[in-house]
């Protein structure tokens, strides 16, 4: 039978994502791809496969899934209440999804975006070199109930039942930024006030960007609103006309007229992406040298993930009694997903 994932129920924010489409900036198409790039790499490590394979990104809520053949899966990013045949599944881990079994993934328990990875990847045809949906430009669309997503072949029998210890990035916190091309449009006093402000992530947000809210007046540049449209990159903190900051994400516009106060380090962007509505965020300027050092460290961390895999104590077949253990922080045993499933 053709390898596929059947989507019986779908949360409102499911989309197929890979590492995006670099190379089309000059044509007005931003790179897009998974908003939490680290989660994509973690999933690839858990399944021992390439980082460019596509996974299912789940904003806030998962769905109900079934595979047509035995398929390996991994779960990363924001932990969600996931179960298979009534057994709670550990997050940041790989599992076997047997043909015909129902995989239930509920709402997030922390963070914002969860990821379901499949052995062999989601094998949609590539458009402009990638499989990811770029929703803002009408390239691909949300995955709806009733869809069947083709799953790539796997060349060899491969491992399941491994897990990763993942450093927390789901609750906001301190975000490092660098000065960027328009930072000096803002007076030093505005920049200091920005650093001193405790922001909360607004409930409004999308793959294009997240809005930050704070007490006190908005932020204003000296350049006014006559600024020439200039290059925009993910991580840019854009200040709109009313002084509200937005952190721009993977699917942002490629150029824009609103001034940018700073730019978030790519390695800190997953922390912004995953901060749930209401989570506290603070920003701290670092130098370019510090930023490059941090990116180097993040790259080493990503490269080290395959070596950091650990076997789960037991495999799926005898996990029931394991459910009384706390495998990783924040994931508890229980049948709560079954009781609450609709």
Partner 1 sequence: MTSVVPTSALSDGAAGWPRIRTVGVDGMLVSFGDRLGEPANRAALAFRAALDRAALVGALETSTSLVSTYVRFDALRVGHAAMRTALLSLLAARDWYGAPLPEGRRLWRIPTVYGGDLAPQLAEAAQAAGMTSEVAIASLSQSRVRVQTIGFAPGQPYLGELDPAWDIPRQKALSDRVPEGALVVAIRQLVLFSVTTPTGWRHVGQTAFRLFRPEADTPFVLRPGDEVLFEAVPPEQMARMRTDPDGGARAERLE
Site residues (vs partner 1, CB under 8 A) = 22-29, 127-128, 136-139, 178-181, 225, 228-231, 233, 235-236, 253-256, 263, 265-266, 288, 291-292, 295-296, 299
CB of 60 to partner 1, least distance (A): 24
Given a contact cutoff of 8 angstroms between Cβ atoms, the answer to whether 173 and 280 are in contact is: yes
CB of 337 to partner 1, least distance (A): 37
Q: DSSP for 248-298, please give it.
A: E-TT--SEESS-EEEEE-GGGHHHHHHPPTT-EEEEEE--HHHHHHHHHHH
State which residue, 23 or 311, has the beta carbon closest to partner 1: 23
CB of 318 to partner 1, least distance (A): 44
State which residue, 174 or 299, has the beta carbon closest to partner 1: 299
**Rounded-to-integer distance, Cα 16 and Cα 25, Å:** 21
**Rounded-to-integer distance, Cα 152 and Cα 263, Å:** 36
CB of 255 to partner 1, least distance (A): 4
State which residue, 138 or 156, has the beta carbon closest to partner 1: 138
DSSP collapsed to 3 states, 93-147: EEEEECCCCEEEEEEECCCCEEEEEECCCECCCCECCECCCEHHHCECCCCCCCC
State which residue, 104 or 281, has the beta carbon closest to partner 1: 281
CB of 20 to partner 1, least distance (A): 12
State which residue, 163 or 178, has the beta carbon closest to partner 1: 178
- The encoded tokens of residue 65 equal 């899934």
**Rounded-to-integer distance, Cα 305 and Cα 284, Å:** 27
């Amino acid at each position: 039978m053709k390898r596929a994932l059947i989507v019986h129920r779908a949360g409102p924010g499911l989309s197929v994502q890979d590492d995006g489409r670099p190379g089309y900036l000059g044509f007005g198409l931003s790179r897009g791809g998974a908003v939490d790039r680290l989660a994509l790499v973690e999933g690839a490590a858990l399944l021992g496969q390439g980082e460019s394979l596509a996974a299912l990104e789940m904003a806030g809520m998962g769905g109900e899934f079934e595979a047509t053949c035995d398929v390996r899966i991994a779960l990363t990013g924001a932990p969600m209440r996931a179960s298979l045949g009534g057994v709670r599944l550990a997050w940041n881990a790989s599992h076997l999804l047997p043909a015909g079994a129902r995989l239930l993934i509920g709402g997030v328990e922390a963070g914002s975006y969860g990821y379901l990875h499949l052995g062999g990847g989601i094998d949609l045809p590539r458009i402009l070199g990638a499989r990811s949906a770029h929703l803002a430009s009408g390239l691909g669309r949300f995955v709806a109930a009733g869809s069947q997503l083709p799953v790539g072949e796997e060349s060899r029998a491969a491992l399941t039942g491994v897990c990763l210890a993942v450093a927390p990035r789901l609750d906001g916190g301190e975000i490092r930024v660098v000065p960027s091309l328009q930072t000096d449009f803002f007076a030093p006093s505005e920049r200091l006030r920005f650093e001193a402000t405790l922001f909360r992530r607004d409930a409004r947000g999308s793959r294009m960007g997240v809005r930050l809210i704070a007490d006190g007046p908005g932020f204003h540049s000296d350049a006014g609103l006559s600024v020439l449209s200039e290059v925009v990159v993910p991580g840019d903190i854009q200040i709109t006309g009313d002084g509200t900051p937005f952190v721009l994400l993977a699917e942002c516009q490629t150029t824009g007229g609103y001034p940018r106060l700073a730019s978030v380090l790519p390695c800190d962007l997953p922390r912004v992406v995953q901060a749930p509505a209401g989570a506290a965020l603070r920003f701290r300027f670092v130098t370019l040298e510090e930023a490059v050092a941090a990116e180097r460290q993040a790259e080493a961390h990503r490269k080290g993930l395959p070596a950091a895999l650990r076997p789960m104590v037991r495999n799926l077949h005898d996990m029931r009694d394991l459910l009384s253990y706390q495998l990783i922080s924040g994931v508890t045993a229980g049948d709560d997903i079954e009781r609450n499933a609709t």
